[in-house]
Amino acid sequence: MVTKEEITEWFESLQSSICTTLEEADGSGRFIPDVWERPGGGGGTSRVINNGSVIEKGGVGFSAVHGETPAKILDALKLEPSDFYATGVSIVLHPHNPFVPIIHMNVRYFEMSSGVYWFGGGIDLTPHYVDQDDAQYFHATLKDICDRFNSSYYPSYKKWADDYFYIKHRQETRGIGGIFFDRLTAQKEEQKSDIFAFVQAIGQAFAPTYTYFMNKNKDLPFEDQHKQWQYLRRGRYVEFNLVLDKGTKFGLDTSGRTESILMSLPPLATWQYNHIPPSNSLEAKTLALLKKDINWIDL
């Protein structure tokens, strides 16, 4: 039987290995650790990188928190009063070059003293400019991982990501999606290890997947118009994270550490009133692809 202690230890090791790999790929940037404690119980380590050669700002956070479950969360999940334990790794990276995409990953485990537990997480890509070859590579990688465990995972979790990473008030997706899953549990105890193995496979895929995009796109030339578009797309990222993201809301509702919760925000973002890019421009073509239910693998 896999325990919360084993899961916690693995998540903490995942954080370390990802930071090491990203530092090697970046070349100059280093993750600075920030150890913190949660007043209500537990804590974590936020590792933040600033002004690297490729990564302008990024965070790889590990947490293991526990305590009394807030009534707001009990009501939302329709659960009886019980203490909680939650652990996981959360990552967001914002690159310098507009042709390197933003990436996010979260893998997490949650259990209650009542015996209720589940796994959740996902990984999604937010290009400032959609490159169809990159999109195909990203989704094919995720499908391959999912298919190793269950052929139904990729289509189901891709749909979930399309619906979840959707900026409703803009009627556009945050990026090209990926996979998203939540409240995964098992009827038999031995199946819990199978779910954890799937979550581990997603976590282990993060570093090689993103370093592929870093190495492929970091030296592509760009001009000021591309940077300005990047800042606008970062603005959309901020809107989603602050208005719609459930992880942000959970962290704030459980009195988590604000700096760590909001480390996903970019270093600089802009908003322009009613900005409409010229037709047939790279920017307009990207907007046209920010839709749900695109088959990126066979596009």
- What pLDDT digit, counting tens, does each position of 85-100 carry? 999 999 999 999 999 9
**Cα separation of 118 and 198, whole Å?**
13
**Which of 50-59, 65-74, 226-235 shows the lowest mean pLDDT across its residues?**
65-74
10 Å CB burial of residue 186 (0-12, 13-18, 19+) is: middle
Range of the domain at 176: 4-288
Q: H or E stretch including 148?
A: helix 132-149
- 104 assigned to active site: yes
What is the pTM for the complete model shown?
0.94
In the numeric block, which tokens belong to residue 35? 């150890």
Whole-number pLDDT of residue 81: 80
Closest CA to 227 of 27, 56, 48, 59: 56
Residue 60 lies in a domain: yes
User: Residue 39 carries which DSSP code?
Assistant: T
User: Residue 96 carries which DSSP code?
Assistant: S
pLDDT grade for 7, boundaries at 50, 70 and 90: very high
Q: Which residues contact 169 (CB under 8 A, 6 or more apart)?
A: 239, 243
Using only C-alpha atoms, the chain has a radius of gyration, in whole angstroms, of: 19
Residue 223 lies in a domain: yes
The span from the first CA to the last CA of the chain, in angstroms, equals 42
**Cα separation of 290 and 274, whole Å?**
17
What average pLDDT does the segment 212-217 reach?
A: 98
Residue 230 lies in a domain: yes
Whole-number pLDDT of residue 189: 63
Residue 190 has pLDDT above 70, yes or no: no
Whole-number pLDDT of residue 72: 75
Contact 177, 165 (CB under 8 A): yes
Residue 298 lies in a domain: no
Most confident among 26-40, 67-81, 177-191, 255-269 (mean pLDDT): 26-40
What average pLDDT does the segment 215-230 reach?
A: 98
Contact 217, 97 (CB under 8 A): yes
Report the CATH number at residue 180: 3.40.1500.10
pLDDT grade for 114, boundaries at 50, 70 and 90: confident
Among the listed residues 66, 94, 96, 104, the single catalytic one is 104
Whole-number pLDDT of residue 164: 96
Residue 297 lies in a domain: no
Whole-number pLDDT of residue 204: 98
Residue 75 lies in a domain: yes
Residue 260 lies in a domain: yes
Whole-number pLDDT of residue 243: 92
Residue 172 lies in a domain: yes
**Cα separation of 151 and 185, whole Å?**
17
pLDDT grade for 249, boundaries at 50, 70 and 90: confident
Closest CA to 49 of 66, 67, 32: 32
Q: How many domains does one find in the chain?
A: 1
> For all residues of the chain together, what is the average pLDDT?
94
Whole-number pLDDT of residue 259: 87
Burial 275-298 (b: 16+ CB within 10 A, else e): eeeeeeebbeebbebbeeebebee
Residues 163, 195, 191, 12: what is their CA dihedral angle, to the nearest 10 degrees? -140
pLDDT grade for 44, boundaries at 50, 70 and 90: very high
